[in-house]
């Protein structure tokens, strides 16, 4: 099998097992919807500042990914299937495959939660294109870093609390910029003057993917 | 020999302390509060130095798998964290005197907070892994991963966004901001003194850490 | 094997550089004067330097007013009932926290940045001249 087909095999395996249990997707979506309802219920229509709305949306997405993304490797560790992965694939293949799975998960959650958020907060996004590019590039960076951290916490204790602690400072730049860019996309003025924010998110995503796949070897190989 | 070095460093640091309090004149405008630069700047410099050292030793550990590098990385990170806390405290005190507020989420304050969180997370990770070999490997990886976010914190946030923080004393334009020669003397003495102190603590801590780990191994 | 790391870290360094460069003008707690005026009533932070000689005590003797100028030359009239910080007159830039009300910026809190020159304190006579 060549490189790409092994990556596809990793993705295929995870999509199948996720399709059977729907555990990660369900828990992430339920978390998002619950917190969205709580936020919208307690704040009502009082939050009209686009920056604040953007911050709320990203806080919800950030914490839901803190819950669902570490499962990528924690699951393998718990089922004792980590060694099977080590035997069958190169580390970078596993990393890319798991990263794409996490990206898919995050994209589905974002694609469902964002419209819901806009409806509940009565926003009709004036620049959906800018928002979609922001969310997509932030999601790539987020899933790359979270995949590496997932492999780290899989070998540690107290994973549930450790993961956000490890992830928060590293993801801080991408979080801040994503909030800023989303806020701009909710303003009536054209946000394209701020496209340097998107450049930053894209650069962060590349650093995440390249750095993640290089460092992943050391985490994965025992 | 260690006693001679220790006495030497103690003498320099006493000199710096006395010099900072009595020898240097109070600064224009800032008055007596400006004396914080003899402590705040060296302490911040040491924490940057220690974190860079920690990163370098982590890279070396992944290359060689030699536990000695992990000892150095951990000790550097610990010292860096302590000096970073000191920099935060001296900074907040000076901010109260000069800007009229202890904490205002000025860009500098944001970046130092995230820096503190990174290394607290580093030690959190260390304590959460029981197998020593795995712990060393994972800690080194996290140290390197965190360093990718570091340029953003150290160089971008404070330098590009308008900040209330005074420009760095020795800056790229080469213009020296300290004009009085007595201040300059004490300032550089403080930098050298703190750097020597750092290396002294560093060497001692490495020896202590080696013994601690040797004991842990023999206990098992 | 070694080339992989060299290439990888070159890519990372390049991306960090581009990413850092791209952020040059975004994200600060301080908003431009224009936006502060537009966001009437909402609390914001603005940063600027004091226009020389614009500091005045108003008629009722309870409030100070002054004009801030940002680096692009835009100006903002600020009024505050707070006491001015001690080294206010010497400040190279000032942060005002407050909100735009009708025709001026009402500051709830003032922060000053001092000139970053650590000079020796000037002679008493010179200092005396600056006092009103």
| Local structure of C57: helix, strand or coil | strand
CA distance B196 to B5: 9
- pLDDT of B62 reads 92
C16 → chain A, closest CA residue: A203
CA distance A222 to B91: 43
Band of the pLDDT at B172, cuts 50, 70, 90?
Answer: very low
Q: Which residue has the higher pLDDT, B16 or A12?
A: A12
Residue B176 pLDDT more than 60? no
What are C97's two structure tokens? 């926290």
Distance from CA of C122 to the nearest CA of B (A): 6
Distance from CA of A137 to the nearest CA of B (A): 17
- pLDDT of A69 reads 87
> Which other chains touch chain C, taking contact as 3+ CB pairs less than 8 Å apart?
A, B
A205 to chain B: which residues are within 8 Å by CB? Answer: none
Cβ C27–A176 below 8 Å, yes or no? Answer: yes
Classify domain C28-116 at the CATH class level. mainly beta
What's the whole-number mean pLDDT along residues B89-113? 79
A150 to chain B: which residues are within 8 Å by CB? Answer: none
From the list B40, B5, B6, the residue with the least C-alpha distance to B20 is B40
Residue B136 pLDDT more than 90? yes
- pLDDT of C25 reads 52
The dihedral sign for the CA sequence A120, A124, A126, A127: positive
Interface test with A, best of B138, B139, B151, B157 (most A CBs within 10 A): B138
The whole-chain average pLDDT of chain A stands at: 88
pLDDT tens sequence across C53-90: 777 777 666 777 778 787 777 777 888 777 776 666 66
CA distance B99 to B93: 10
CA distance A155 to B126: 11
Distance from CA of C81 to the nearest CA of A (A): 28
> Which other chains touch chain A, taking contact as 3+ CB pairs less than 8 Å apart?
B, C
Taking the CA of residue A1 as centre, how many other CA atoms within 13 Å lie in the half-sphere pointing to its CB? 12
Band of the pLDDT at A132, cuts 50, 70, 90?
Answer: very high
Percentage of chain B modeled with pLDDT above 90: 40
Q: Which residue has the higher pLDDT, B113 or C30?
A: B113
From the list A217, A199, A159, A97, the residue with the least C-alpha distance to B144 is A217
Task: Write the residue in B34, B155, B162 that is nearest to C28 by C-beta.
Answer: B162
CA distance B32 to B66: 49
- pLDDT of B75 reads 95
Band of the pLDDT at B171, cuts 50, 70, 90?
Answer: very low
In B199-208, which positions are buried (b, 16+ CB within 10 angstroms) versus exposed (e)?
bbbbeebbee
| Local structure of C117: helix, strand or coil | coil
pLDDT tens sequence across B179-211: 567 777 888 888 899 999 999 999 999 999 999
pLDDT tens sequence across A89-102: 888 899 999 999 99
Domain borders along chain A are 3-220
Q: Which residue has the higher pLDDT, C73 or A121?
A: A121
Q: Which residues lie across from C109 on neighbouring strands?
A: C97
Taking the CA of residue C28 as centre, how many other CA atoms within 13 Å lie in the half-sphere pointing to its CB? 21
Interface test with C, best of B40, B105, B164, B180 (most C CBs within 10 A): B164
CA distance A110 to A32: 9
CA distances from B26 to A80, B41, C105 (A): 67, 17, 35
Percentage of chain B modeled with pLDDT above 70: 83
Instruction: Indicate the helix (H) or strand (E) that contains C109.
Output: strand C104-113
CA distance C19 to C11: 12
Task: Note which residues in 41-70 of chain C have CB less than 8 A from chain A.
Answer: 42
Interface test with C, best of A175, A197, A214, A217 (most C CBs within 10 A): A214
Cα angle C114, C117, C119; round to 5: 115
* Cβ–Cβ under 8 Å, residues C96 and C107: yes
Domain borders along chain B are 2-219
| Local structure of C112: helix, strand or coil | strand
- pLDDT of B28 reads 59
- pLDDT of B30 reads 62
CA distance A141 to A58: 14
Cβ B140–A145 below 8 Å, yes or no? Answer: no
What's the whole-number mean pLDDT along residues A41-59? 84
Cβ A199–C22 below 8 Å, yes or no? Answer: yes
A221 to chain C: which residues are within 8 Å by CB? Answer: none
Residue C27 pLDDT more than 80? no
Judged by average pLDDT, the poorest of A17-31, A115-129, B49-63, B150-164 is B150-164
A178 to chain B: which residues are within 8 Å by CB? Answer: none
C93 → chain B, closest CA residue: B164
Cβ B117–A215 below 8 Å, yes or no? Answer: no
Band of the pLDDT at B159, cuts 50, 70, 90?
Answer: very low
CA distance A89 to A106: 24
Percentage of chain A modeled with pLDDT above 90: 38
> At C68, phi and psi to the nearest 5?
-100, 145
What's the whole-number mean pLDDT along residues A144-155? 93
Judged by average pLDDT, the poorest of A103-107, B39-43, B133-137, B183-187 is B183-187
């Amino acid at each position: 099998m060549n490189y790409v087909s092994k990556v596809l095999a990793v993705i295929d395996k995870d999509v199948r097992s996720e399709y059977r249990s729907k555990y990660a997707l369900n828990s992430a979506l339920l978390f998002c919807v619950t917190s969205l309802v709580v936020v919208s219920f307690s704040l009502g229509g009082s939050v009209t500042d686009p920056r604040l709305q953007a911050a709320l949306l990203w806080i919800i997405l950030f914490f839901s990914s803190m819950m669902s993304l570490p499962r990528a490797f924690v699951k393998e560790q718990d089922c004792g299937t980590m060694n099977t992965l080590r035997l069958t694939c190169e580390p970078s293949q596993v990393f890319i495959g798991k990263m794409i799975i996490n990206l898919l998960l995050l994209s589905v959650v974002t694609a469902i939660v964002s419209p819901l958020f806009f409806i509940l907060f009565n926003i009709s996004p004036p620049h959906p294109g800018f928002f979609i590019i922001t969310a997509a590039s932030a999601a790539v960076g987020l899933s790359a870093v979270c995949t590496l951290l997932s492999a780290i916490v899989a070998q540690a204790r107290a994973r549930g609390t450790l993961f956000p602690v490890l992830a928060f400072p590293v993801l801080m730049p991408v979080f801040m910029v994503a909030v800023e860019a989303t806020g701009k996309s909710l303003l009536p003025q054209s946000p394209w003057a701020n496209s340097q924010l998107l450049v930053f998110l894209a650069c962060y995503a590349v650093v995440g993917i390249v750095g993640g796949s290089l460092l992943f070897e050391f985490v994965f190989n025992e | 020999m260690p006693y001679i070095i220790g006495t030497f460093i103690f003498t320099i640091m006493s000199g710096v302390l006395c010099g900072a309090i009595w020898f240097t004149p109070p600064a224009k405008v800032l008055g007596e509060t400006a004396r914080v630069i003899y402590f705040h700047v060296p302490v911040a410099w040491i924490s940057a130095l220690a974190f860079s050292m920690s990163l370098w030793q982590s890279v070396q550990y992944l290359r060689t798998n030699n536990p000695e590098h992990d000892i150095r990385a951990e000790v550097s990170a610990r010292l860096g964290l302590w000096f970073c806390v000191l920099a935060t405290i001296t900074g907040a005190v000076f901010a109260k005197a000069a800007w009229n507020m202890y904490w205002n989420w000025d860009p500098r304050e944001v970046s130092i907070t995230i820096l503190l969180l990174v290394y607290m997370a580093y030690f959190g990770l260390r304590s959460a892994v029981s197998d020593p070999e795995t712990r060393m490997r994972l800690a080194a990886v996290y140290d390197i991963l965190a360093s990718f976010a570091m340029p953003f914190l150290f160089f971008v946030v404070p330098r590009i966004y308008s900040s209330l923080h005074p420009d760095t004393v020795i800056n790229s334009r080469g213009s020296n901001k300290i004009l009085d020669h007595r201040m300059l003397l004490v300032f550089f003495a403080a930098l050298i003194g703190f750097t020597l102190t750092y290396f002294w603590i560093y060497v001692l801590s490495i020896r202590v850490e080696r013994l601690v780990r040797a004991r842990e191994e023999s206990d098992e | 094997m070694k080339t992989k790391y060299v290439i990888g870290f070159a890519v990372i360094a390049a991306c960090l550089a581009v990413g850092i460069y791209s952020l040059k003008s975004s994200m600060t707690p301080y908003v431009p004067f224009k936006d502060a005026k537009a966001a009437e009533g909402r609390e914001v932070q603005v940063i600027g330097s004091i226009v020389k000689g614009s500091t005045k005590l108003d008629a009722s003797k309870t409030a100070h007013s002054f004009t801030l100028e940002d680096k692009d030359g835009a100006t903002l009239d600020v009024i505050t009932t707070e006491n001015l910080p001690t080294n206010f007159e010497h400040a190279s830039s000032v942060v005002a926290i407050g909100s735009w009300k009708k025709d001026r910026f009402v500051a709830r809190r003032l922060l000053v940045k001092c000139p970053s020159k650590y000079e020796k304190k000037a002679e008493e006579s010179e200092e005396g001249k600056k006092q009103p």
